[in-house]
Amino acid sequence: MPIDVANIIGTADRERDFNREFTALQPRLRERQRRLARAFPDGAFAPIVVERLGDAYFVVDGHHRVAVARLRGMATIDAEVTELTARWHLSGSADAGELLHAEQERLFMSESGLADVRPDARLRFTRAVGYRQLLEAVQIHGYTMMLGARRPLDPVEVARDWYANVYRPTVDLIAAAPMELCAGATEADAFLTLWDHRRELSVEHAGLQLPDALRMPIEIGKGRRRRRRLQRRR
């Protein structure tokens, strides 16, 4: 089937050989590209192989054909397409950051077990690293649950309990607070900020509850800055 060349935005596994514009990054590849262009002056290439996420395509096989098509200004190219599932729609103009967020969110949902419990959940972070930090929070909750139950627990069981009894109550508490937790933060950003804040305060205030933590001043980034200063002094 013909696909829009403009919506081919990346490679499935050859980032070291081609950039986002499909410019060959090595001399041997550029020479192969020139030979291909001479062999197919009319652009009648064999179909390339791509994976599709939303409106975006990623090349599995046919990188040189895409490169030549771009240089010639071709609008479409024939392709064999495999549809992949993304948890949010990606446009043909999606950038690397958006792709990274989509992949990290997908991994979080799968590894945490939340995809089986609340596939409708929409967790968004301003920084992609938030998904790994949130997974750690779920895993810590699971460890605590297993200590109490004295038996192994399925990730789905942990995810169900974490979402219902930890995540939702926390974000509801934040939403009802008379102050902004941090400007420009998403719901998930705010959850992590309060959760980390409570964990730090618990060192000095054993058994501190979330409502109490929310009333105490939150100095975002203070701990990280302090650690960096200590590291520089060593």
The pLDDT tens digits for 200-215 are: 776 666 666 666 666 6
Alpha-carbon distances of 228 from 135, 197, 224, rounded to whole Å: 24, 18, 6
**Is the pLDDT higher at 79 or at 232?**
79
Confidence of residue 225 (pLDDT cuts 50, 70, 90): very low
Q: What was the pLDDT predicted at 13?
A: 65
Tell which CATH architecture fits domain 2-83. Answer: Alpha-Beta Complex (3.90)
- Read off the pLDDT of residues 139-161 as tens digits, 9 standing for 90 and up: 999 999 999 999 999 999 999 99
Provide the residue ranges of all domains of the chain, joining segments of one domain with +.
Answer: 2-83, 96-227
The residue type of 23 is T
* Longest CA–CA separation in the chain, Å: 74
The whole-model pTM stands at 0.57
The residue type of 36 is L
Indicate whether 1 pLDDT > 70.
Answer: yes
Confidence of residue 162 (pLDDT cuts 50, 70, 90): very high
pLDDT (mean) for 126-136? 89
- Indicate the burial class of 145 (C-beta count within 10 angstroms; 0-12, 13-18, 19 or more): middle
- Read off the pLDDT of residues 51-108 as tens digits, 9 standing for 90 and up: 887 778 888 888 889 988 988 889 999 999 987 665 656 666 666 667 767 778 888 9
Q: State what percent of residues in the chain have pLDDT above 70.
A: 74
Alpha-carbon distances of 191 from 36, 92, 110, 133, 171, rounded to whole Å: 53, 31, 20, 11, 6
Is 173:209 a contact under the CB 8 Å cutoff?
no
Alpha-carbon distances of 137 from 71, 77, 133, rounded to whole Å: 47, 45, 6
The token duo for 108 is 């979080």
Alpha-carbon distances of 185 from 19, 101, 160, rounded to whole Å: 32, 15, 24
